Amino acid sequence: MYHVLEHVFVAENGSKENAKKIMIVLTDGRIFLDPMNLTDVLMMPKMKAVTRFAIGVGADFNQTKAVTELQDIASDPDDEHLFKVDNYAALDGILSLLEKSITGIEGTQQGAAFLFELSEAGFSIDFANDGTVLFGAVGAYDWNGGLIIKNPDDTIRFLNESSTKEKFSYLGYSVAAVKGVSGSLYVSGAPRHSFSGSVLVFNGTSHAAQQTLSGEQVGSYFGAELCVLDTDKNGITDYLLIGAPLFHQKGEEGKVYVYRLSQELFIRESEWQGMNRYTFARFGSAIANIGDVDNNGYNDIAVGAPMEGDGKSGSIYIYNGYENGIKDHHSQRIAAADFDVKLRFFGQSVSGMSDLDKDGQVDISVGSLGKVTVLSSLPVIVFKPQVTLEPPYISLNKQSGQDSKKISAKICFNTVKREIKKKTEELPIHYHLVLDPNKEKKRLSFANGDPKSISGIFKLTNTMECLPDILLQFLECADDCFSPIEIKLNFTLNLSSESRPLRVLDMLSPNEISQQLPFETNCGTDKICTANITLSTSLPQDKTLVIGSTKDLSLGFNMKNIGEDSYMTILVLTYPHFLQYNKLSLLTESKGISCENPVENTQLTCQIRYPVMKTQSEVNFTISWQIEESHKIQESSTQITANITCENDGLQVLTEETYRFAVKNALKVSLTGKAKPAYIHVTEESMGKKQELEYLFQIHGENRYNANIVVNIDIPLKERDTQVTIVSYKATHTTNCSPQLQDNGKTYRLTCTVQELDELLTVEASVAVIGIKDQRENLTARAFLSFDSAQYEAEEGGRYEEVLVTIEKLTVVKSMAVIVGSSIGGFVFLAFLILILIKCGFFRRRYQEARVIAEE
């Protein structure tokens, strides 16, 4: 509230001293942590002239202290100035009541009504073509306002929307007579109509209101200023311009609305605003038809912004009419700050005058505070400059160096309007000539050695319109010998600030032209080169790219031009992101091919026989790519597109081919298995007893691209006389396993999905043999791998594994009697053998006998 008093309700920001002031305070709770005191602010002297409305939103205002604070903020009485609502959505319910309370300040209080006593007839005035005079009477019918029509026969007619409807709309604030195809229309602005302003259009014959143009913003004062414009001077109104000088965004910037008259109705066509940095400009406070100031045959408009600039010095904007209507961007801004005389509110009023100084030009009068400034328009000159080249093209001989490379350029400033007539008049023209501006490597230079551009001042007279010839020199064109060489001429008038300019340039006419210097081509009598390039490609036999296995890809190309010369021939190869361009390989006879660095690694551009691929010429080359292996490729297919273009008479597509390849990711996987134990022995006594058995299956290989590998293990639960009971299963990594029975419960299947290739799957079982008819029987477990073959490719083999468990029957022979008999027989034989040895003297001491004999 303090900020509004000290910074908003001040003259510097547009507040008038005697104006009624309103403050609306919207709050959702008590004042909290505010360094200022509410009572001190409310007791400020400036606050006595302010009417305050207080709106409390939310449940906080059920408390006594909050209500008391809200009552202090609101002016008395509280029942008219204090509102409490539960939420913000409920604010709509008090909008109309608040509007009536606000507008009541400016005279809507109940009281005696006035008819014409305060009408202020003549507040605005305009004349129709037939002599009818329009008077605005803004105060008629309690400031409802109206339009007084005084006909040529002195009869008077009063027009308004209603004598009781929309009081205080100020109809008649502005008036304008419009000449339509079918008759006259009377237009009047009512800037307070419906709070946002309106413009009412009355039929000139029936006097009935036939159209209402409404403003778009409350308080914008839409309709405060009107201006009719006949752009082509045919006597029929083309445009109606409506000012809304108080249109606000940050301050009171102002706006002008442009309506076109079509079939006796006004249709909004565009909107104008001043420069953005001036927030209190009040653009549109004055709008005037100022005549044809630029001498192009179409009337122009001036718009005033009297508070624009520092110190509210003001400015005006000039908008020019042309054959299709009126330009939406101003051609000139005239600011009072640029004058030596200090002015305020320059642009408060604007009027187009006749030729006051008799110089043949329209003059403009602009009102400011206490002064009128007359602006004299300057003659506008329109050039049609021409650059003539000799020879007009670069011949084939010049391109090959057989002829002279000299070229002559003549520049002439031909005047279309306001030419120089007096012999003593000289118009200095500053010109700037640029050669081949869009090429880094120039194909044309000035003969004096300047490679790029020259500048100078040429004095135009009534007898001299052309500069001396400028000598140019053709350079080599290794990169581009087909697209024309551009010669660009830019010119301005070399105006002096010390004297009145002789002429000024037309703001709507270009001050830059370009001349083309084409190349001669070998294209037959019709001078049109029609190229025809055939393309054949050598593709690999296997059109499947296996990421992680296929290391590279090479395509061989053969291009032949069977048509006329092809200029700036380009081959563009577009390929998938996982291909990395490697190299270009040329055959011996295929020179003149170069490939630029790929664009984002997906597009390769190759120049073929630059700049010209001659007729019947042929090239053979190979493009190689390396295949990126670091990422998995989701797509199941990809393509490489070859596109051949040339620039014969503009960009042309000659050939387009597409090569498709299947894409898979490499997978190296195998499966091994074993059983523990591999052999099971049974006897008659162990029949029916359970024995432990384990199946172990190991997955090996490399799974770089995280394929989901499905392992199915089938174990028969009954094989002839053998019954298998599965006890449990386990895996080293995966938990994604599920068992189920197959073949009507005869087979146990364990299905596991794995990604880790060091996965070990173990199935624990118990085996019970009921009876074996043969001596040997096999129990076979089978395991096999599967994966998404559309995305992955693996080598054949290693995907299937069988594990055999051999069951053997053992026979036990009972031989106790044989053993006992054999043992007795053995002992008898041993005793007999010992007896024989004794008889033979085997146990005698022969050593002692030998010694005795020796002693003797």
Summarised one tens digit per residue, pLDDT across range 486-519 is 999 999 887 766 667 778 888 778 889 999 998 8
Do 690 and 660 belong together in one domain? no
Q: Is residue 495 a contact partner of residue 489, using CB atoms and an 8 Å limit?
A: no
The residue among 116, 207, 108, 121 whose CA lies nearest residue 172 is 121
* Position 574 in a domain: yes
Residue 659 has pLDDT above 60, yes or no: yes
List the 406-417 sheet strands across, edge first.
444-446, 470-474, 406-417, 380-390, 504-505
The residue among 356, 314, 316 whose CA lies nearest residue 332 is 316
3-state secondary structure of 13: helix
> For position 565, what pLDDT does the model report?
86
- How many domains does the chain fold into? 7
Q: Is residue 748 a contact partner of residue 782, using CB atoms and an 8 Å limit?
A: no
Could you tell me the pTM of the whole model? 0.56
The residue among 630, 623, 631 whose CA lies nearest residue 604 is 623
Do 215 and 293 belong together in one domain? no
**What is the per-residue pLDDT across 673-705, written as a single tens digit (0 to 9) for each?**
999 998 888 877 777 788 889 999 999 988 889
> pLDDT band for position 846 (50/70/90)?
low
* Position 406 in a domain: yes
Residue 648 has pLDDT above 70, yes or no: yes
> For position 164, what pLDDT does the model report?
46
Location of structure tokens 């520092």: 310
Do 303 and 395 belong together in one domain? no
What is the number of other CB atoms lying within 10 angstroms of the CB of residue 15?
11
3-state secondary structure of 393: coil
**What is the per-residue pLDDT across 318-337, written as a single tens digit (0 to 9) for each?**
999 999 999 999 999 999 99
Residue 111 has pLDDT above 50, yes or no: no
> For position 101, what pLDDT does the model report?
56
CATH number of domain containing 79: 3.40.50.410
3-state secondary structure of 9: coil
* Position 527 in a domain: no
The residue among 586, 646, 587 whose CA lies nearest residue 615 is 646
CATH number of domain containing 551: 2.60.40.1510
Do 261 and 338 belong together in one domain? yes
Find the mean pLDDT for residues 367-385. 90
Which is more confidently placed, 558 or 757?
A: 558
Do 840 and 774 belong together in one domain? no
CATH number of domain containing 344: 2.130.10.130
CATH number of domain containing 496: 2.60.40.1460
> pLDDT band for position 107 (50/70/90)?
very low
Contacts of 482 (CB under 8 A, 6+ apart): 519, 521, 567, 568, 611, 612, 647, 648
**What is the per-residue pLDDT across 267-288, written as a single tens digit (0 to 9) for each?**
999 999 999 889 899 999 999 9
Ramachandran assignment for 663, one of left (phi > 0), alpha (psi -120 to 50 degrees), beta (any other): beta
The residue among 771, 798, 766 whose CA lies nearest residue 785 is 798
**What is the per-residue pLDDT across 584-605, written as a single tens digit (0 to 9) for each?**
998 767 778 888 877 777 899 9
Do 217 and 229 belong together in one domain? no
3-state secondary structure of 164: coil
> For position 110, what pLDDT does the model report?
46
Do 849 and 797 belong together in one domain? no
What is the number of other CB atoms lying within 10 angstroms of the CB of residue 671?
20
* Position 695 in a domain: yes
Q: Which domain holds residue 464?
A: 380-517
Do 232 and 361 belong together in one domain? yes
Do 242 and 195 belong together in one domain? no
Find the mean pLDDT for residues 568-588. 89
* Position 786 in a domain: yes
* Position 219 in a domain: yes
> For position 311, what pLDDT does the model report?
86
> For position 224, what pLDDT does the model report?
96
Residue 89 has pLDDT above 60, yes or no: yes
Do 369 and 228 belong together in one domain? yes
Which is more confidently placed, 811 or 786?
A: 786
Do 393 and 319 belong together in one domain? no
Q: Which amino acid would we find at residue 652?
A: Q
Q: Is residue 662 a contact partner of residue 637, using CB atoms and an 8 Å limit?
A: yes
> For position 848, what pLDDT does the model report?
60
Percent of the chain beyond pLDDT 70?
A: 91
> For position 815, what pLDDT does the model report?
61
3-state secondary structure of 816: helix
Do 228 and 365 belong together in one domain? yes
The residue among 715, 780, 779, 784 whose CA lies nearest residue 752 is 784
Of 320, 349, 377, the residue that ends a domain is 377
| Sign of the alpha-carbon dihedral angle for 347, 349, 353, 356 | negative
CATH number of domain containing 121: 2.130.10.10
* Separation of alpha carbons 604 and 574, rounded Å: 6
State the chain's mean pLDDT as an integer: 86
* Separation of alpha carbons 491 and 513, rounded Å: 9
At 279, list the tokens.
């927030």
* Position 670 in a domain: no
* Position 671 in a domain: no
Of 223, 247, 268, the residue that ends a domain is 223
CATH number of domain containing 764: 2.60.40.1530
Which is more confidently placed, 473 or 843?
A: 473
* Separation of alpha carbons 231 and 323, rounded Å: 8
Which is more confidently placed, 423 or 345?
A: 345
Q: Which amino acid would we find at residue 301?
A: I
Of 665, 690, 722, the residue that ends a domain is 665
> pLDDT band for position 807 (50/70/90)?
confident
